[in-house]
Chains A and B, each alone.
Chain A
Amino acid sequence: MREGLGADPPGLLPRLRAGDPRAFEELVIAYQHRVFGVALRMLGNRAEAEEIAQEVFLRAHRAIADFRGEARLGTWLYAIASRLCLNRLASPDRRLARGDDALMDVPASTPDAAAAAERAELDAALRAAIAELPDDRRLVLVLRDVEGLSYEQIAEALALDPGTVRSRLHRARMQLKEKLERFA
């Protein structure tokens, strides 16, 4: 899991609002992995994830003047990324196969070949199980257990009640547990 979402880099927001191109560059550098991570875990395809991640920053670039600063920049970017991913997933035109390289993470290396194979199998099963979750549950799970956001930050990013976040997360985790029971 990624470290929790900390405070915005100091002074970044005013510089962004002033149109400082270096500030935008710093924003992209600071949040590129988080934004791309959410897109990849949601879409399961690197090319599509990059396209969406790029769009997230372009929209932020265009809309920065309207950003009121009530939320953190990071939460705002997660909000845009989440919305674009869900929109893409809901699109009837979406034909790209999911999960073709969502399983790209290399399993932890181990000298024991049998243990390595078992670990790889578990990793594959885990990622497949995540990919099979309903989109809204997968999003909450990714934001919490992969990206390290708090319940409150997720609720803010997705415009949900914290209770809804908690129940969706619960269902997502229970569903995963059932799918992975054979590895217990």
Chain B
Amino acid sequence: MTCTETRDLFSALADDALTPGERAALDAHLAGCAECRRELAGLLRTVKLVRAMDPVHAPAGFVDRVLAAAQPAPSHRRLVRRLMRPWPTLPLGAAALLLIGGLAVLLFRGSPEQQRAAHDQLEAARAPSSERNVAAPQSVEAPPAAVTAAPRSDTDLSKNYSEPPKSESMRAKTAAPTTKTDAPSPRARAERAQATVPNASRDSVSSAREQEAQQRLTPPAAMERRDAKRELADRGQEALAPAVGGRSAAAPSAAERQPPPVGAATPAPAMATAKAQAMPQSAPLSRTGPMTGIPAAPPDVTARLRVAHVSGAERALIELAARVGGRQTGRRIDGGRLVVELAVPRDTYAEFVREAAALGAVSIESQATDRPMLAVAVTVSN
């Protein structure tokens, strides 16, 4: 046996995977070859080093995130979440509703009915005092009714917003944070063994991460992410056919390839659009929203992208940003046109522009590349 043939057996020797014949031949060669003995010692030392590496642990909350992603919330809750998405926290949502209530009061006061009431009040002031006491309260009480209506609907919304999906069996059973603990579960036991964080704070951390995960994984963001992932995996599908047990582990079914049902995935942009159009055109929906990772300053880059299909281009832009190490930071409607807001690393900005040009006709309107992470606002239109 030559030195080369001998050394080819070293790795299998480390695994005790040699046949008796191979082992005998190896031993015979090693007995007379000091160089191969040195080589073998080096290889065994290397194997020992690799095996001594600490095993990796999944990050805390991983199980929750997988379960949340695997079992999307019922459609009505998804709808409520989408409606609440522009308001990252309940106080902001409540404030916005109070503002709407306040506007309603102002509008009411300016309405013909109100003017008539005020006129009546004026007339009553001229009339004998017994009648005045009846007319005045009527006109004062109506506006507060409009104000109190708003918080009531807000309470309902917030309940649904923070209520965990029913299908996630191990979630907290109440919407408001309490110190109540769930019955022990396999997940709870396993995670408790890994962490020493007290239950109450773990619950709140878990709840926060859950919300974060929901925001990340709730359609349309989730659909976009999953579509992107499927597309990515599909590209390598031919090279690596499913290996074990299942015939379609990595192959999405025909049903999965179909676009999501209109009712499931499209209302969010549609509703956001409708909402934005109802509001002043320049009102930013997203830069103050939960996805905002950059300050609400003017963007470093403003660009226009003319495409055949706006919604498809929006998805493609978001995927492109992710591919170049960036992310979506928001979306808004400006002058009836969709503006996709992205954070793109300066280092990959050129690549971003190049690939964006493949989506449609790109024109850069302003461009400053001083900061390492660029705020890019792309107006997408037909």
Which residues of A line the B interface, CB within 8 A? Answer: 1-2, 21-22, 24-26, 28-29, 32-33, 35-37, 40-41, 46, 50-51, 53-55, 57-64, 66-71, 75-76, 79-80, 82-84, 86-88, 90-91, 93, 95-96, 105-106, 122-123, 126-127, 130, 141, 144-146, 151, 156-159, 166, 169-170, 173-174, 176-177, 180-181, 184
- Given A79-B243, A79-B244, A181-B42; 17 other pairs, CB 8 A cutoff: A28-B66, A29-B190, A33-B57, A36-B58, A55-B233, A58-B226, A75-B245, A83-B240, A90-B239, A95-B323, A126-B49, A127-B53, A146-B50, A157-B243, A158-B243, A173-B50, A184-B42
Contact with A along B152-172 (1 / 0, CB 8 A): 000000000000000111100
Closest A residue to B236 by CB, please name it: A87
> Is B248 in contact with chain A by the CB < 8 A criterion?
yes
> Is B221 in contact with chain A by the CB < 8 A criterion?
no
Contact between chains at B236 and A86 (CB < 8 Å) = yes
Q: Which residues of chain A are within 8 angstroms of B116 by Cβ–Cβ distance?
A: none
> Is B249 in contact with chain A by the CB < 8 A criterion?
yes
Contact between chains at A151 and B17 (CB < 8 Å) = yes
Shortest beta-carbon distance from A53 to chain B in Å: 7
Q: How large is the interface on B (under 10, 10 to 19, 20 to 34, 35 or more residues)?
A: 35 or more
> Is B281 in contact with chain A by the CB < 8 A criterion?
no
Which are the 7 A-B pairs with shortest beta-carbon distances?
A87-B236, A170-B11, A159-B243, A36-B58, A37-B56, A1-B51, A32-B58
Would you list which residues of chain B between 77 and 105 have a CB under 8 Å from chain A? none
Contact between chains at A170 and B42 (CB < 8 Å) = no
Q: Which residues of chain A are within 8 angstroms of B57 by Cβ–Cβ distance?
A: 33, 36-37
Known interface pairs A25-B170, A36-B56. Does A90 touch B66 (Cβ–Cβ under 8 Å)?
A: no
In the complex, A171→B311 CA distance in Å?
Answer: 48
> Is B15 in contact with chain A by the CB < 8 A criterion?
yes
Contact between chains at B67 and A87 (CB < 8 Å) = no
Q: Which residues of chain B are within 8 angstroms of A145 by Cβ–Cβ distance?
A: 47, 50-51
Set B7, B49, B53, B244: member contacting A105, Cβ < 8 A? B53
